[in-house]
Amino acid sequence: MSKMDTVRFFQVKPAIHYGIGAISEIGENNFERVCIVTDEGMVKFGLLKMVTDVLDAKGIKYHVFSDVEPDPSTEIVEKGLTHILMEKPDALIALGGGSSIDSAKAIIYYCYHFKEMFFGKEYIKKPYFIALPTTAGTGSEVTEYAVITDKKNNTKIPLTDTLMMPDAAILDPKLIESVPAGATAATGMDVLTHAIESYVSTSNNPFSRCYSAKAAELVFKSLYKCYKDGHDLEAKASMQIASCMAGIAFNSGGLGITHSLAHAIGAQWHIPHGLANAIVMPYVVAFNGRNERADYLYSRLLHSMGRLIDDGKTAPETFVRMIFELSASMNIPLTLKEKGIEAADYQGARDTILKKAMADVCTTTNPVQPTIEELGAVLDMVYGGCHS
Ligand SMILES: NC(=O)c1ccc[n+]([C@@H]2O[C@H](COP(=O)([O-])OP(=O)(O)OC[C@H]3O[C@@H](n4cnc5c(N)ncnc54)[C@H](O)[C@@H]3O)[C@@H](O)[C@H]2O)c1
Ligand SMILES: [Zn+2]
């Protein structure tokens, strides 16, 4: 059957305001009461003040919920939900990295479904939802996904609903200027993982591939510059756009087993999401690359990025080298062992990680459906490197 026989859907939803000064957009609506969902880091780094200064200047009232923690838990979302139910804001602003934006999304999701138990849909008014990402990053500002952690079972819970898609995304490079170098590296590698996985996924399409390729190109051009000089706002603006584009790409194209393994590894050892992806990704590219169709897609991606395949090598091998080099240049460990995970600890968690990764929704769109034994072989390399 030709692909043209299937009707598919692609949409870019949020209005995107970008560039230095874009933050002032939040004052351009006649909001009466705003709720800001954020974390303590945003208070400490003065980013919350940048937002409240704009609201104060416009005389807009606001309430701040700043209890979000990295990898937000169901308990944090529950707490945020009571704030929203009491405050009844006409706009909700998520200020922070993926953790704050995902928390705000989950709050909207549960708030809406809670109200649905008592009222008809026509009586439920969703607050206008603005996402201000402070990392470049998850791309959460343009996706309908949120990841919440069930701390009791060390498991990440993915939520998907168009309800959670922001109405507006504001990309102001000033908001990511204060990100420390290590977090810049990790979150930037998350962008690269979104770009590469969505390009080769089984749900990739002409629209998503276009965004994936541009995002990957921008990461190789700008991420190291951001890592070296946190005040290089041109490079930071470029990474913000890459992050947003990669988000648009995977929202439609899906992801793959780098994310499946990274979700389980991140939950097991509390390794930041981007860092887990950076460690896992090259081994997954090598695994997928043995498949003819995936190999072809990796070579098309390199071509779209204006890159050549290394002499005497394949496209996946070229990507593996490029990813290892980029990671090493930013002091990212190349294996879990290098990250400091003990062998006994790894062996103890291996089965749990594999089971969770096999069941992860991202596995369904990986270009190759792995058996648990194959995924185990990939995971062993993620732990100990190519010679483990
Ligand atoms: N919804 C999606 O589509 C999606 C996609 C990928 C990942 N995620 C989720 O996003 C979360 C990770 O988000 P993240 O990587 O953006 O990190 P994060 O939001 O967890 O933030 C990490 C740390 O960086 C700090 N920080 C953030 N911005 C800063 C800034 N400008 N200056 C100084 N410090 C700053 C935060 O205060 C926090 O302590 C994970 O829970 C992951 O599962 C969601
Ligand atoms: Zn990710």
CATH number at residue 67: 3.40.50.1970
Measured by CA distance, the residue closest to atom 21 of ligand 1 is 97
Is 343 in the same domain as 360? yes
Is 186 in the same domain as 172? no
Q: Is 102 inside any structural domain? A: yes
What is the number of domains present in the chain? Answer: 2
Q: Is the CB of 141 under 6 A from ligand 1?
A: no
CA–CA dist 107, 68 (Å, integer): 11
pLDDT tens for 2-18 read 566 788 888 888 999 99
User: Which range has the worst mean pLDDT, 80-89, 90-99, 185-194, 284-293?
Assistant: 80-89
Q: Which of 176, 207, 241 is the last residue of a domain?
A: 176
Q: Which residue has the higher pLDDT, 388 or 252?
A: 252
Mean pLDDT of the chain: 95
Amino acid at 240: Q
Is 152 in the same domain as 209? no
**Atom of ligand 1 lying closest to residue 70 CA:** 20
Q: Is the pLDDT of residue 121 over 90?
A: no
Measured by CA distance, the residue closest to atom 34 of ligand 1 is 179
Is 327 in the same domain as 356? yes
CA–CA dist 333, 271 (Å, integer): 12
Q: Is 374 inside any structural domain? A: yes
User: What is the percent of the chain with per-residue pLDDT over 70, rounded to a whole number?
Assistant: 98
Over residues 232-246, the mean pLDDT reads: 98
Q: What is the pTM of this model?
A: 0.95
Q: Is 317 inside any structural domain? A: yes
CA–CA dist 83, 67 (Å, integer): 11
pLDDT reported for residue 388: 45
Is 218 in the same domain as 285? yes
Extended strands (E) in the chain: 15-18, 33-39, 61-68, 91-96, 128-133, 145-150, 155-160, 168-171
CA–CA dist 298, 279 (Å, integer): 19
Q: Is the pLDDT of residue 267 over 70?
A: yes
Measured by CA distance, the residue closest to atom 10 of ligand 1 is 98
User: Which range has the worst mean pLDDT, 104-113, 221-230, 334-343, 366-375?
Assistant: 104-113
Q: Is 142 inside any structural domain? A: yes
Is 198 in the same domain as 256? yes
pLDDT reported for residue 387: 53
Q: Is the pLDDT of residue 377 over 90?
A: yes
Over residues 215-224, the mean pLDDT reads: 98
Q: Is the CB of 172 under 6 A from ligand 1?
A: no
Q: Which of 158, 176, 194 is the last residue of a domain?
A: 176
Q: Which residues contact 42 (CB under 8 A, 6 or more apart)?
A: 48, 66, 95, 96, 100, 134
Q: Is the CB of 260 under 6 A from ligand 1?
A: no
Is 252 in the same domain as 146? no
Is 84 in the same domain as 41? yes
Q: Is 104 inside any structural domain? A: yes
Is 227 in the same domain as 353? yes
CA–CA dist 284, 296 (Å, integer): 15
Query: Band of the pLDDT at 351, cuts 50, 70, 90?
Result: very high
Q: Which of 153, 176, 199 is the last residue of a domain?
A: 176
Ligand nearest to the CA of 197: 2
Measured by CA distance, the residue closest to atom 22 of ligand 1 is 70
Q: Is the CB of 244 under 6 A from ligand 1?
A: no
Strand order in the sheet with 33-39: 15-18, 168-171, 128-133, 91-96, 33-39, 61-68
Measured by CA distance, the residue closest to atom 19 of ligand 1 is 97
What's the chain's length in residues?
388
Report the b/e string of 188-210 with b at 16+ CB within 10 A.
Answer: bbbbbbbbbbbbbbeebbebbbe
Q: Is 130 inside any structural domain? A: yes
Q: Is 4 inside any structural domain? A: no
User: Which range has the worst mean pLDDT, 142-146, 157-161, 244-248?
Assistant: 157-161
Q: Is 7 inside any structural domain? A: no
Is 299 in the same domain as 152? no
Is 202 in the same domain as 124? no
Cβ burial of 47 (10 Å; 0-12, 13-18, 19+) is buried
- Give the distance (Å) from ligand 1 centre to CA of residue 95: 10
Domain with 213 in it: 181-384
Is 203 in the same domain as 135? no
pLDDT reported for residue 2: 58
Q: Is the CB of 137 under 6 A from ligand 1?
A: yes
pLDDT reported for residue 114: 84
- Give the distance (Å) from ligand 1 centre to CA of residue 102: 9
Q: Which of these, 291, 258, 272, 289, lies nearest to 382 by C-alpha position?
A: 258
Most informative mutation of 100, 138, 155 for ligand 1 (most atoms within 8 A of CB)? 138
CATH number at residue 344: 1.20.1090.10
CA–CA dist 127, 139 (Å, integer): 21
- Give the distance (Å) from ligand 2 centre to CA of residue 68: 18
Helix boundaries (H) for 201-272: 206-228, 233-253, 257-269
